[in-house]
Copies of this chain bind each other. A is one copy, B any other.
Amino acid sequence: MRALIMAGGLGTRFWPKSRREHPKQLLKILGEQSLILDTVERLKPIVTGEEIYIVAMDDQLGKIRKQLNGHAGINYLVEPKGKNTAPCIGLAAVVMQKDDPDAVMVVLPADHLIEDNDVFLKTLQTAEKVALETGKIVTIGIEPNYPATGYGYIQFDQQLAVADGMPLLHVKTFAEKPNVATAERFLSSGDFLWNSGMFVWKVKTILEEIEEHLPQVYDGLMEIRDALGRPEQDAVIRRVYSQIRSISIDYGVMEHAKEVTVLKGNFGWNDLGSWGEVYKLMDKDENRNVLVGSHLIRDAAGCLVDAPEKCVALVGVDDLVVVDTPDALLICRRDRVQEVRDVVDLAKRKKMDQIL
C-alpha cells in the first residue's frame, strides 16, 4: 500500500490562524501536534516513509518537510499550482506507478481528525484488499450521527459483501453538502454516508478512470510520466500544470465511474472543516463556553474563545467564535463559521496581503 497525503489546501476557514504561509494542516488545531504530523504518524504502523507521498505547493512543502523531519524516506511531490484534487491524485499515481506498477493507492487529506486509529488502519487494510481483489474504486464512508451540512454524502444501494466485519456497499450517487432539510432527509433515509474524502484503488484503476473521464488530464499525466527521472522532469510538470484542467476527483471521476464501492468505516472521523467543528469537539464549561487562555466572562454562553496570548472579556454575548492572533482577530457568529472563507476573500479583494 502506498499513501498519498494531499497537503496542498489552505484551510481558509481557519483564518486568522491559517495563513497562506501557514495553512491549516500545519496548525495544532486540537491536541499537541500539527494535523499533517498526526496524519503521517497515524499511518506509520502500516506503511514505511518510502510508501508515503506528500503533494503540496513549493512554499508549503518547505514547512511540511520541516515539521516531518523526524520521518525519513517520505516522497515529497511539488505541484507548481493548486489544480484541485484530480491532477494531484493523477500526479501521485504516475509517480507511484513508476515505483511499483501494481501499487494500491490510499488517498488521504492532510487535515482530518481520527479518534480510533486501530479501526482506521484496519479499515484501510480492508479497503486495500477489496481494491486489489475487485479492481474497483473503494471510497470510505462514515455512518452519519447528525444531519451535518458541512460534509458531502454518498448514497448506497445494495450491499456487496461484508469485508472483515465492515459492510461493503455499492455507490448509487455522490451528493454535495446539503442544506439542513436535505441533510435530515439523508439521515433518516438510512442509505447515506458521509463522504470522508478518502479513497483506495489500484494505481492502474484510477489512471484508467482518469483516461476515460478526464482525457486532457490523462494526456498531461502521460507527458509527466515520460519525463519522470529525467533532467526535464520539473520543467515538464510546470508546463503541464500551467494548462491542466483544475477539477476535483469527485466531479471529474467519481460521479461518472460505473463501479464505485463504499466501505463503511467507524473510527471517530471529523474533517475539522471550521471553527464550529473545533467548538463541537472541545470540552465545554458550565456555560457551554470553550475558553483557550485566561478570560473574563460576564453572562456569555456558547462561545469559543481561542486567544492564548490575551485576556478576552465577554459581556452579554452568546454563541460567538473569537479567535485572536497578533495581527488579526475574528469575531463570528458560531452558526456562520462557514463564511470565514468569505472574509478571507474580502481581505484578498482589499489587498490586505499581510493578513492573508
Given that A298-B342, A343-B296, A346-B296 are contacting pairs, would A331 and B311 also be in contact in the complex, using a CB cutoff of 8 Å? no
Question: How many residues of A are in contact with the other chain, CB < 8 A?
Answer: 38
Copy number in the complex reads 2
Assess the B343–A313 pair: CB atoms within 8 A: yes
Task: Name A166-209 residues within 8 Å CB distance of B.
Answer: none
Binary interface encoding of chain A residues 137-175 relative to chain B, with 1 for a CB under 8 A from any of its CBs, else 0 = 000000000000000000000000000000000000000
| CB of A230 closer than 8 Å to a CB of B | no
- B-chain residues with CB within 8 Å of residue A311 when the two chains form the complex: 327-329, 347, 352, 355
In angstroms, Cα B333 to Cα A327, docked, is 23
Q: Shortest beta-carbon distance, A86 to chain B, in Å?
A: 31
Most B CB contacts (10 A, CB to CB) among A311, A328, A332, A350 go to A311
Assess the A329–B329 pair: CB atoms within 8 A: yes
In angstroms, Cα B315 to Cα A336, docked, is 7
| CB of A256 closer than 8 Å to a CB of B | no
Give the segment of A57-65, A116-124, A316-324 that binds chain B.
Answer: A316-324
Subset of 14 A-B contacts with CB under 8 Å: A294-B352, A296-B343, A311-B352, A313-B330, A313-B331, A313-B332, A313-B347, A314-B331, A315-B336, A316-B333, A316-B335, A317-B320, A322-B329, A324-B329
